[in-house]
Structure 1
Amino acid sequence: MSPWIEGLRSVALYVPDLAKAEEFYTRTWHLEVAHRGDGELFLRGSGTDHHLLALHQGGPSPQIRQVTLRARSREALDAVRENVLRAGGKLLAEAHELTRNPAGGIGLKFQDPHGRTFQVVHGDARREEGAPVKDRPIRLTHVVLNTHDVDASQKFLSEALGFRLADRTGIMAFMNCDRDHHTIALGISDNDALNHIAFLMPDFESVMRGGGRMRDAGFPIQWGPGRHGPGNNLFNYFIDPFGIVIEYTAEVEQVDETYVARGPEDWKWPAGRVDQWGISAPPSATLKEAQKRVFFAPNP
Structure 2
Amino acid sequence: MNQPIARLRRLRSVELRTHARSASTDFYSEVWGLRVVDQGDDAAWLRGTGDQHHVLQLTAAERNGLGRISFAISTPAEIDEAARRLDARGIPMIQGPGAVDDAGGGYGLRLVDPEGRIVELIADTLAVPDLGRGDAVPVGVTHVVLNTVDIDAAVSFYCDVLGMRVSDWSEHQMAFLRCNSDHHSIAFNQAQWASVNHIAYEMPTVDHFMRGIGRLRHHGILPLWGPGKHGPGDNTFSYFADPAGLVCEYTSGIAQVDEDRWLCRVWRRVPELSDLWGTAGPPSKQVRDHMAGIPDPGAFELHDLERVS
String of CA shifts for 1:195-243, please: whole Å, max 9, x gaps.
1100001211221122222233333211111111121111101111101
Structure 1 residues 149 and 82, CA gap change in structure 2 (3 angstroms):
farther
Aligned: 1:45 with 2:48 = yes
Q: CA RMSD in A?
A: 2.0
8 Å CA contact retained: 1:219, 1:240 = no
Secondary structure (helix, strand or coil) at the match of 1:168 reads: strand
TM-score scaled by length of structure 2? 0.89
Match of 1:55 among 54, 58, 64: 58
Matches within 5 A, 1:154-165: 154-165=155-166
Cα distance in 1, alignment partners of residues 105 and 9 from structure 2: 17
Matches within 5 A, 1:6-17: 6-17=9-20
Deviation at 1:45, TM superposition (A): 0.5
8 Å CA contact retained: 1:83, 1:159 = no
The gaps in structure 1 that reach 5 residues or longer are: none
2:286 is aligned to 286
Compare 284-293 and 88-97 and name the one that shifted more.
88-97
Aligned: 1:4 with 2:7 = yes
Opposite residue 291 of structure 2, the aligned amino acid is: Q
Cα distance in 2, alignment partners of residues 296 and 205 from structure 1: 39
The gaps in structure 2 that reach 5 residues or longer are: 304-309
Opposite residue 32 of structure 1, the aligned amino acid is: R
Secondary structure (helix, strand or coil) at the match of 2:209 reads: helix
1:75 is aligned to 77
Cα distance in 2, alignment partners of residues 163 and 271 from structure 1: 28
2:307 is aligned to none
Deviation at 1:279, TM superposition (A): 2.0
Cα distance in 1, alignment partners of residues 106 and 122 from structure 2: 6
Opposite residue 137 of structure 1, the aligned amino acid is: P
Opposite residue 22 of structure 1, the aligned amino acid is: T
1:299 is aligned to 302
2:235 is aligned to 233
Deviation at 1:75, TM superposition (A): 2.6
Deviation at 1:134, TM superposition (A): 2.1
Cα distance in 2, alignment partners of residues 104 and 271 from structure 1: 44
Identity, % of aligned positions: 33
Aligned: 1:31 with 2:38 = no
Opposite residue 287 of structure 1, the aligned amino acid is: V
Deviation at 1:125, TM superposition (A): 0.7
8 Å CA contact retained: 1:83, 1:160 = no
Opposite residue 279 of structure 2, the aligned amino acid is: I
String of CA shifts for 1:98-121, please: whole Å, max 9, x gaps.
13x121011101111111111111
8 Å CA contact retained: 1:226, 1:276 = yes
2:121 is aligned to 120
2:110 is aligned to 109
Cα distance in 1, alignment partners of residues 183 and 144 from structure 2: 12
Cα distance in 2, alignment partners of residues 167 and 261 from structure 1: 8
Structure 1 residues 245 and 4, CA gap change in structure 2 (3 angstroms):
same
Structure 1 residues 146 and 271, CA gap change in structure 2 (3 angstroms):
closer
String of CA shifts for 1:70-110, please: whole Å, max 9, x gaps.
112223213333444555632111211113x1210111011
Aligned: 1:256 with 2:276 = no
1:132 is aligned to 133
8 Å CA contact retained: 1:224, 1:236 = yes
String of CA shifts for 1:131-174, please: whole Å, max 9, x gaps.
21321100111101111111111111112111011111122111
Deviation at 1:270, TM superposition (A): 5.8
Opposite residue 74 of structure 2, the aligned amino acid is: R
Structure 1 residues 269 and 55, CA gap change in structure 2 (3 angstroms):
closer
Compare 149-158 and 86-95 and name the one that shifted more.
86-95
Secondary structure (helix, strand or coil) at the match of 2:216 reads: helix
TM-score scaled by length of structure 1? 0.91
